[in-house]
Amino acid sequence: MASLDSPITIVRPHLIEFGIGTAGKLGTWAAGKGYRRTLVISDAFNASRIDVLELKGEVTVFSEVTPEPDTANLDKVLAAANAAEAELIVGFGGGSAMDLAKLAAVLAGSAQTLPEVVGPNKVHGPRKVALAQVPTTSGTGSEAGIRALVTDPQTMAKLAVESLHMLADIAVIDPALTFSVPARTTAATGVDAMAHCVEAFTNRKAHPMVDIYAIEGTRLVGKYLARAVKDGNDAEARAGLSLASLYGGFCLGPVNTAGGHALAYPLGTRWHVAHGAANALIFPHVLAFNTPSAPEKTTAVMQALGRQTSGNTASVFDAAYAFCAELGIEMKLSALGVPESDLDAMADDAFAIRRLLDNNPRDLTRADIRSIYAAAF
């Protein structure tokens, strides 16, 4: 793990507006910049409430964002962006909407195609349009980051694009927008935010400059997630989770996730399990597996979640599993419709995600991954 004298690069959206009732500040900011044509990229539900953004001028709405978006969904977004000739693109929704907004901001009207920008630092700049992000869930932290993911339907692999040119000009985080998120989704996305923090905290690339966000994000989830699941209108709990999600996003840029996300991705790409639910199911297994390689940090994680353990692998697993299960999250692959016959293919897929597995504090072999899937079945 990195030490204080290790180099690190930290990036943030140029402007962050945070707090209950701040959604309308986007319209004020956009008007002040003189933007006349805006494209909002959203799902059908959030598209029905874009008035809260108080955008002026000509506003075009793309409302066909799908969960775990694939390249076909991105093609539709790019067609809408090119037709709108927008000066401002807004991602309004969960991570799927915000990731598509990032890609639209750098690919619409560009000579570059998606295959040419997959990977780190391949996007040609500068960006031609402004980018705003407005999250309506507390999980991905995508509003703060420089990565975007879409699925290749042929290979069922995640295509990851990383570029500073995808950093938002403004992120507006209004926890009131999350009040309507159902309890089950609140639970899963909250664990996703926590997984970002925990995987960064225990990462081989972990850095003291990021650790402070990682452990505080974990603590916020431990304090507020159960409250928000119980009462979706608990403003303090919702704000706490929105902040935890933002902190998780801060962790993703310089450090990123590790084994947990690598094992969760095939559940989404192959079986369309929601990203948060997939991460929650995998979380206790990978945390316990990693405990021998990061014992002190694992203890700190469990304390931040309000759970006491004896520090061994079994007690860590039991405590982490209980934390997720008590939120009402389904913790068995079989109950999510994943067939046992697919575990080998999933293990192959996960083992190929080296950009994340190489961050894991303990080496995960293909056999280890297959064993974890079997234990989670």
Predicted local confidence at residue 266, as pLDDT: 94
Give which of 254, 14, 268, 226 is closest to 133, Cα–Cα: 14
Quick one: pLDDT at residue 68?
85
This prediction's pTM:
0.93
pLDDT for 136 equals 97
Tell which CATH architecture fits domain 15-178: 3-Layer(aba) Sandwich (3.40)
Q: What is the pLDDT of residue 1?
A: 67
Quick one: pLDDT at residue 176?
97
pLDDT of 253 reads 79
- C-alpha 73/C-alpha 151 separation (Å) is 10
pLDDT score, position 272: 87
Fold for 183-376, please state it: Dehydroquinate synthase-like, alpha domain (1.20.1090)
| Sequence-ordered list of residues with C-beta below 8 angstroms from that of 197, at least 6 positions apart, any chain | 213, 214, 215, 217, 218, 221, 244, 247, 248, 251
- Supply 85's token pair: 């000739």
**Nearest-angstrom CA–CA distance, 312 and 368:** 18
- How many angstroms separate the CA atoms of 68 and 347, rounded? 19
What are the φ and ψ backbone dihedral angles of 165, each rounded to 5 degrees? -70, -10
Q: Which residue, among 4, 365, 362, 6, has the nearest Cα to 204 in the 3D structure?
A: 362
Task: Check: CB of residue 190 under 8 Å from CB of residue 346.
Answer: no
**Residue 51, C-beta contacts closer than 8 angstroms, at least 6 positions apart:** none
**What's the pLDDT tens digit per position in 123-157?**
998 899 999 999 999 999 999 999 999 999 988 88
Task: Show the 3-state SS of the chain.
Answer: CCCCCCCCCCCCCCEEEECCCCCCHHHHHHHHHCCCEEEEEECHHHHCCHHHHCCCCEEEEECCCCCCCEHHHHHHHHHHHHHHCCCEEEEEECHHHHHHHHHHHHHCCCCCCHHHHCEECCCCCCCCCEEEEEECCCCCCHHHCCEEEEEECCCCEEEEEECHHHCCCEEEECHHHHCCCCHHHHHHHHHHHHHHHHHHHCCCCCCHHHHHHHHHHHHHHHHHHHHHHHCCCCHHHHHHHHHHHHHHHHHHCCCCCCHHHHHHHHHHHHHCCCHHHHHHHHHHHHHHHHHHHCHHHHHHHHHHCCCCCCCCHHHHHHHHHHHHHCCCCCCCCHHHCCCHHHHHHHHHHHHCCHHHHCCCCCCCCHHHHHHHHHHHC
Task: List pLDDT tens digits, range 323-350.
Answer: 999 999 999 999 999 999 999 999 999 9
Domain boundaries, the chain: 15-178, 183-376
**pLDDT at residue 177 in the model:** 98
Instruction: Specify the pLDDT at position 117.
Output: 96
Using 70 as the pLDDT threshold, list the residues of the chain that sit under it. Answer: 1-2
Q: Label the pairing between strands 147-152 and 157-162.
A: antiparallel
Residues 27, 28, 33, 35, CA torsion sign: positive
Residue 121 pairs in a beta bridge with none
